Amino acid sequence: MVKAFGLVGDDPRAARVTQLDLLFMLGGFAPAGPLAAPRELTELISAQSARFRSLDPHLSYELLIDVNCEEYRRCGDIRVFSPGQLGTLERDFYLGHYLSEPWIRSAAYGLRALITAPDAVKPVAVLDDAARCVAEFTSHMASYRRLSGEAFGRFRHFHMGHPGGPRGASGAFMPSVQLLELALLPPTTEYGSYLDLAMSYFPTWSRPVVAQWRSASSLGMNVWQSVRDGRLVLDGAGAERLVQLIDRFVDFRMVHLGITRRMLPEAFPDRTGLTRREIGAQAGERGVLNAEHPGTSGFSVRDVLTNAVHRLLELRREVLSSASAPANQ
Ligand code: HEM
């Protein structure tokens, strides 16, 4: 598992891979408790983190997914915790996140063009393309339906943080899904709390981008506010495509919710209120810090996933009701 340590030298790529290896070694001690790792190892990790300030001192989404999979692309090596066939499933779980993210990132950046330069692009084409990218993203993610809950459970505990420690490596810290949401609609208060707490767990490149898109979105630089303010004019076909895009985004979140319910039934002791219709009808968002069933990310699994669907269904309702409202109102 461990490659030769480049603890000397200033090559940032080698430093990232070394940090990944050190944190994989540390993760190997996780089942024995947070204090089981040898002091020399934790000191090495602290020294590397102090030396390369941009390195996460814990096994973050960026290290586990992005750095690990970039290394796999570069030389065919990937770090996994599990041996044998389970290791192949674990590898594919990491690669699945890495290879699918560009689809949703492309949708997010397409919308960004629609917001910043609405006259330079064709809205129907941009919205169509974004919906197609989100559907591709969903079909990659949906292939994890085939992963058994038993297999997932065997490597998942290596990704979990421990009480009082940093949050674990979770899809909740994949930035492009959040960029797409910020490009579509303004952040709600509850979503803002999630972003505040998630910010330092997103990959380094994305932190200033998420912060900038969030503040722009709050100030009206999002697709929905642009339509309402008349900066972005959508004809009937354009409004239809906007609803279609929202539907594809809801599909992603509902399929993902279905997979998560099957894999982590303990996080959903109350089986009611989880259909699209019920989530749409729920009275607002719930507190994501409800600590009864925290997931890898440390947020309440049920609430973070259902809130995310709820916000999109609220947007869908607003878009449809404004399309059916008489003009000049
Ligand atoms: C075995 C399959 C999977 C399970 C059981 C699972 C589980 C979870 C859980 C429990 C959360 C809530 C946060 C947390 O507690 O960690 C979450 C969030 C998330 N996951 Fe997954 N996940 C799976 C696969 C994937 C894949 C393959 C992707 C993307 C390609 C993905 C993307 C996301 C995103 C974007 C979020 C944040 C919520 C949102 O914005 O919709 N997940 N996941």
pLDDT score for 1: 38
Cα 11–Cα 58–Cα 144 angle in degrees, nearest 5 = 100
| Domain assignment of residue 111, yes or no | yes
Q: Is the CB of 299 under 6 A from ligand 1?
A: yes
Residue 203: name the closest of 85, 56, 31, 69 by CA: 56
- Spatial neighbors of 10 by CB under 8 A, at least 6 apart, are none
Say if ligand 1 is within 6 A of residue 297 CB: yes
43 shares a domain with 121: no
Same domain (yes/no): 232, 299? yes
Percentage with pLDDT > 90 across the chain: 86
Taking the centre of ligand 1 as the mean of its atom positions, its distance from the CA of residue 170, in whole angstroms, is: 7
In a domain, 271, yes or no: yes
Ligand 1 nearest-atom number relative to CA 149 = 1
- The verdict on 258 and 114 lying in the same domain is yes
For residues 163 and 258, membership in a common domain is answered with: yes
For residues 239 and 203, state if they share a domain.
yes
Question: What is the distance in A from the centroid of ligand 1 to the CA of 271?
Answer: 19
Q: The whole model's pTM is what?
A: 0.95
- Quick one: tokens of 31? 């089942």
Tell me, yes or no, whether 23 and 91 share the same domain.
no
Residue whose CA is at the smallest distance from ligand 1 atom 27:
141
Q: Of the candidates 31, 46, 75, which is a domain's last residue?
A: 75
The stretch 227-252 carries a mean pLDDT of 97
Instruction: Tell me, in angstroms, the distance from the centre of ligand 1 to residue 293's CA.
Output: 15
**48-68 pLDDT tens trace:** 999 998 899 999 999 999 999
| DSSP secondary structure, 246-265, as one string | HHHHHHHHHHHHHHHHHH-G
Q: Is residue 70 located within the same domain as residue 95?
A: no
Residues 140, 194, single domain; the answer is: yes
- Residue 294 maps to a domain: yes
Q: Which atom of ligand 1 is nearest to the CA of 295?
A: 15
Q: How many domains does the chain have?
A: 2
Ligand 1 site-directed mutation target among 95, 100, 170, 210, most atoms within 8 Å of CB: 170
Looking up residue 302, the CATH number of its domain turns out to be: 1.20.58.480
In this structure, the answer to whether residues 128 and 251 fall within a common structural domain is: yes
Please give the residue range of the domain that contains residue 201: 84-324
**Beta-carbon contacts of residue 325 (< 8 Å; ≥ 6 apart):** none
**Which residue among 214, 260, 299 has the greatest number of ligand 1 atoms within 8 angstroms of its CB, and so is best to mutate?**
260
- Alpha carbon distance 319, 227 (integer Å): 10
Domain identity same for 68 and 175: no
More confident residue, 2 or 167: 167
Residue 200 belongs to a domain? yes
Residue 10: which pLDDT band, with cuts at 50, 70 and 90? confident
What is the whole-number distance in angstroms between the Cα of residue 211 and the centre of ligand 1? 21
pLDDT of residue 9: 66
Identify the three-state secondary structure at position 294: strand
Output b/e per residue, 261-285; b: 16+ Cβ within 10 A: bebbeebbeeeeebeeeebeebeeb
Residue 202 lies in a domain: yes
- Domain membership flag for residue 132: yes
Q: Is residue 122 domain-shared with residue 156, that is, in the same domain?
A: yes
